[in-house]
Chain A
Amino acid sequence: MRLQWMSAAAMAVSLAVGSAGVFAQPALDESEKEIERYRAMINDPMANPGYLAVDRGEVLWAQKRGKKNVSLETCDLGMGAGKLEGAYARMPRYFKDADKVMDLEQRLLWCMQTVQELDTADVIARRFSGPGRASDMEDLVAFIGNKSNGMKIEPQTSHPKEKELTEIGEAMFYRRAGVMDFSCASCHGEEGKRIRLQGLPDFSKPGKAAQETMASWPTYRVSQSALRTMQHRLWDCFRQQRWPAPDYASEGLTALTMFLNKQAAGGEINVPSIKR
């Protein structure tokens, strides 16, 4: 299985497959059909290594850590202390105790710092996993995201700060900058386009493309042998946009996630997914 994956992955990397979704496109050419075949082939939950991250996350959630030597089980992700079902489907959201709109990763860091009094420097240093370096954040997001499976993305708009951050995210989506003048919209502002062979989801309007994308993160990236979160996806987008690396768990990334979730409202969550 592993070997089969790897050769398939090597093939697919050169074909540049992106997300699991099929976007509205003109008739598929032969190369695109091959990509669809590959996507179907890897989309097997029983063989998705992302579920190993879910299991690791479950252990981390219950593990006593920090100066207070307590677990994260009293952390409130918006649904009440320790309640995980449906929490991810409603994040990012406003948290009164922090007076801030937070995505899941920002909230987890906040809980580590306040509930556990854990020094998060090491957790942040390991925000993205690498060979021989596990990431607590990736594992926790896989575990908690998975608890919203079957539920629909519900963008939060009841608090003024939620509305404001969504607007900021939308404006940022169209901000053209850098040596190539790229914005998010340069690639994701029109339907039925592709970069090389990779289909590009159009996030400029609400609907299926945004739903399929946002409802399938976190995902297991076969080409990186790692579970990845939306924080990592946006970091990689900015790399390709020829912008600087964004700060981890920063305001702009949460703003963009708010806007993308607005476009993805109603998308049914099924995570961790598996992608090229």
Chain B
Amino acid sequence: MTFRNLIATGFLIGGFLSAASALAQDKTSPAAFDKMEAAVKATFSRATPEWRKRIELDETQRLCTLARNNVSAADADAIQKREAARVVMPSDGKFLGDWKKGFAIANSGRGGQFSDDDKTVNGGNCYACHQMDLKEVSYGTLGPSLAAYGKDRKYDEASIKDAWTKIYNSQAVVACSNMPRFGVTKFLDEQQMKDVMAYLFDPNSPVNK
């Protein structure tokens, strides 16, 4: 494990833990939760039924909302177990697609917005939150840097599988992670996730240069 890898790993864990503790000053009481749900209903009353359905809470979202991401150890275990069961490995056993297509997906923040049309191709928007290719200066800091991600992990099989799990369902790894559950929600399809994986793990990808 390189120094950078160590730092990155520490940052990854620390980052998500501190995100949780920064929000830990309070929780939402069940009474306040019920009032809020009524207000949410009133606020999106003119949205289509399909759109309103999109913001109904699943059990994981409900727990993270109530605890403001700072779930108890027991709830965290329950969330991670439930979400881990939802991860689907690639059907052909191959994790890595085309890194160039992966870059386009990582760089696109399109999709899922009420201003989009049916033809919009969803992007992963990785750069909104993560540093990746060091030459790209416009990157966000909500998530840890992923620069040299594959190289630092010596492109090993276990790391590849872990990264797939993380992208497919971040909450299988960290309960109430800030990261979207790209595979579970079908926001990205299997091929798109493979391409993003290649952007992280292909030795020719600029992420590893």
Residues of chain A touching chain B, judged by Cβ–Cβ distance below 8 Å, are 14-16, 29-31, 164, 167-168, 170-172, 174-183, 185-187, 189-197, 200, 204-205, 238-240, 242-247, 250-253, 255
Contacts and interface: CB of A to CB of B under 8 A. Distances in A.
Contact of B39 (A168, A178, A181, A239): A168
Contact of A187 (B40, B44, B51, B142): B142
Nearest to A15: B138
A251 B61 contact: no
Given A246-B44, A247-B46, A31 B138 contact: yes
Contacts of B65: 171, 174-177, 183
8 smallest CB-CB distances across A and B, nearest first, come from A252-B43, A244-B47, A244-B51, A171-B36, A242-B112, A180-B180, A177-B55, A250-B43
Contacts of A182: 180
Among A186, A239, A244, A245, max chain B CB count under 10 A is at A244
Nearest to A247: B46
B2 interface: no
Contacts, number: 152
B187 A195 contact: no
A240 B52 CA distance: 16
Nearest to B19: A190
11 contacts: A168-B35, A176-B65, A181-B61, A186-B178, A194-B142, A238-B114, A243-B54, A244-B54, A244-B55, A250-B42, A252-B42
Interface residues of B, number: 50
Interface of B: 18-19, 22-23, 25-26, 28, 32-33, 35-36, 39-40, 42-48, 51-52, 54-57, 61, 64-65, 68-69, 112-115, 127-129, 137-142, 176, 178, 180-181, 185, 187
A111 B54 CA distance: 35
Given A190-B22, A196-B140, A177 B114 contact: no
